[in-house]
Amino acid sequence: MKIDLDHVLGTARAWLEQDPDDLTRGELAAAVDAASDGSGPAVQALAARFGGRLQFGTAGLRAELGYGPLRMNRVVVTQAAAGLARFLIDTGRQRSVVIGYDGRVNSDVFARDSAEVMRGLGLEVTLLPSALPTPVLAFAVRHLGVGAGVMVTASHNPPRDNGYKVYLGGDDDGSQIVPPVDAEIADAIDAVAAGSITELVRATDYTVATPALVDAYVAATAATVTAPTLAPSEQPKVVYTAMHGVGWETARAVFDAAGFASPSVVPEQIEPDGAFPTVSFPNPEEPGAMDLAIARGLAVGADLVIANDPDADRLALAIPSGDSFRRLSGNEVGWLLGWRAAARAVAAGRTGVLAASIVSSPALSRVAARYGLDHRDTLTGFKWVSRVPDLLFGYEEALGYLVDPDVVRDKDGISAALDLLSLADELAAAGSSIAEHLDAFAAEFGAFASGQVATRVDDLSRIGAIMHGLRTSPPASLADLSVLTTTDYLDGVEGFPPSDILRYDLAGEARVIVRPSGTEPKVKVYIDTVASTPAEAQSIVDALAAAVRPLVS
């Protein structure tokens, strides 16, 4: 396609005039100079940065740092802040917002830009006092009773990424945004982007929250468990890593307030560092990400190794296995915490719902049935899980857990860590362990196993081609298991909006679900089954993974 050089240069120069950031302005100026002589590669590179804009969706914004409307930068963030403020004003919602940020590069800058712009538009604005976990921001939306919350974070994305996550108060009760609100906010942002951010009024008389707000989160979270059974010196030994994120100070305060011994930490990863120097990908699910934590666990003879992701809304757990540690899957942790939540609810005479995303293991539905509770599947994304009415516990297999919806309406890796410490303490007092408790779960509910296959693509059109191929040539069997039913969520399924998801229910209580990733250029396949023994279940999962891999390659 022929590139209109004058249009590209004009658009880039207009952007340059409004960019308040010295770094991105310098990079863009150099790119404009390089493209001005019509050099092919330079023109193409510049056109690629101005060939669209970041889409504001149900995950807000998330992208690599850099200049232009397709990257995260101060212009894009300012436009987003002004658009969100105008949405709140135009829809008659409460004109107040709380803003948080993590330790990533420019998170604090983006947060202050947002605070100044939203205050300039007349909103009551509260900025959190320092870099803090996402769950603290989610808590603050409800605790302060504001109209919206903004968290500047890219969670567990690669180091050069940043993002902008939005929560709503009022009837949304502190949950993340969902359609059609995301589209309405996107329209408001587009209206702002049609002009220049230099026309926006800024104000600095916003409120900076005091440490009392964090103290309130700590107290509310600590109260979600009972006091430890064992003395600190007798409790299971724990190693903790913040993975260069912002979780440690808040997690330590929560553990202490609840009466648990302070964990041994991974010193190389305990302080916030936006460069993430010891991990190539700061996601506890990624191979190698927990290597330092496991090495620390071996050195101190730990019973548990726990990891928060950089904004501490997710949790990973590893337990001793042979001469090393085994990281539990998100489903395994979800089973144990869901079982615990169900037992606790029934003991307290409560009714309610256990919920999980549809790509999470069906094991939770058996737990709910056993305890006379309701169960609900949701679309992927915690914004759906957190909105389930009468929710007692919710999780998604991607390491997200909500153990007390009365405190936070989002996944919370700190409260989940506390609940696991409490469980480990109770088991140790009874002469048991997490590993033995997993065996007890299999004996009680069945031996469930899960697996994943993921195909990363360079060309995004490949994702559509893979999904189209599966729809036009659906498999009749996988790994010698007959496909009993095929469900295409694009066709509309009761209780779900149309979604690009395919589900295959197989003979022998096996299940395969295929969907494009919502945050990465991947097609993801989720495999689940249940059998008589864990080994048999895992064998079925492995066979299905081998059968599915060629279909999504």
Q: Token pair of 122, please? A: 């007349």
pLDDT at 460: 84
The 10s digit of each residue's pLDDT in 417-476 is 999 999 999 999 999 999 999 999 999 999 999 999 999 888 888 999 999 999 999 999
pLDDT at 1: 55
Q: What are phi and psi of 447, to 5 degrees?
A: -90, 95
Alpha carbons within 13 A on the beta-carbon side of 168: 24
Q: What are the E-state strand segments in 169-290?
A: 175-176, 207-208, 238-241, 264-265
Orientation angle between helical segments 74-90 and 107-120, nearest 10 degrees: 40
Rounded distance between C-alpha atoms, residue 44 and residue 3, angstroms: 8
Cα–Cα separations (whole angstroms), residue 523 to 59, 178, 282, 356, 516: 18, 22, 21, 20, 4
196 CB-near residues (< 8 Å, 6+ apart): 14, 17, 18
Rounded distance between C-alpha atoms, residue 118 and residue 209, angstroms: 16
Question: Given the structure tokens 């001005």, which residue do they identify?
Answer: 36
The 10s digit of each residue's pLDDT in 16-59 is 999 999 999 999 999 999 999 887 889 999 999 998 999 887 67
pLDDT at 284: 95
Torsion angle defined by CA atoms of residues 387, 391, 396 and 402, in that order, rounded to the nearest 10 degrees: 100
- Note the helical H segments in 145-210: 181-193
Which residues of the chain are modeled with pLDDT < 50? Answer: none
Starting at the edge strand that comes first in sequence, how are the strands of the sheet with 522-531 ordered? 447-456, 522-531, 510-516, 502-506, 481-488, 477-478
Rounded distance between C-alpha atoms, residue 96 and residue 88, angstroms: 8
Nearest to 447 by CA among 402, 510, 506, 393: 510
Provide DSSP, 19-40.
Answer: ---HHHHHHHHHHHHHHTTT-H
**Contact call for residues 380 and 411 (beta carbons, < 8 A):** no
Peptide bond into 287 cis (omega under 30): no
Nearest to 189 by CA among 5, 381, 343, 53: 53
Pairing, β 264-265 against β 238-241: parallel
**Contact call for residues 225 and 258 (beta carbons, < 8 A):** yes
Rounded distance between C-alpha atoms, residue 193 and residue 67, angstroms: 15
Domains, the chain, with CATH or none: 1-51 (no CATH), 55-209 (3.40.120.10), 211-444 (3.40.120.10), 447-552 (3.30.310.50)
Task: Name the active-site residue from 96, 107, 114, 155.
Answer: 155
431 CB-near residues (< 8 Å, 6+ apart): none
Burial 297-309 (b: 16+ CB within 10 A, else e): beeeebbbbbbbb
Q: Token pair of 80, please? A: 């987003």
Rounded distance between C-alpha atoms, residue 48 and residue 192, angstroms: 22
pLDDT at 175: 95
Helix (H) or strand (E) holding 493: none
**Taking CA 251 as the corner, what is the angle to CA 246 and CA 257, rounded to the nearest 5 degrees?**
150
Known catalytic membership, residue 264: no
Identity (one letter) of the amino acid at 134?
T
39 CB-near residues (< 8 Å, 6+ apart): none
36 CB-near residues (< 8 Å, 6+ apart): 9
Rounded distance between C-alpha atoms, residue 283 and residue 281, angstroms: 6
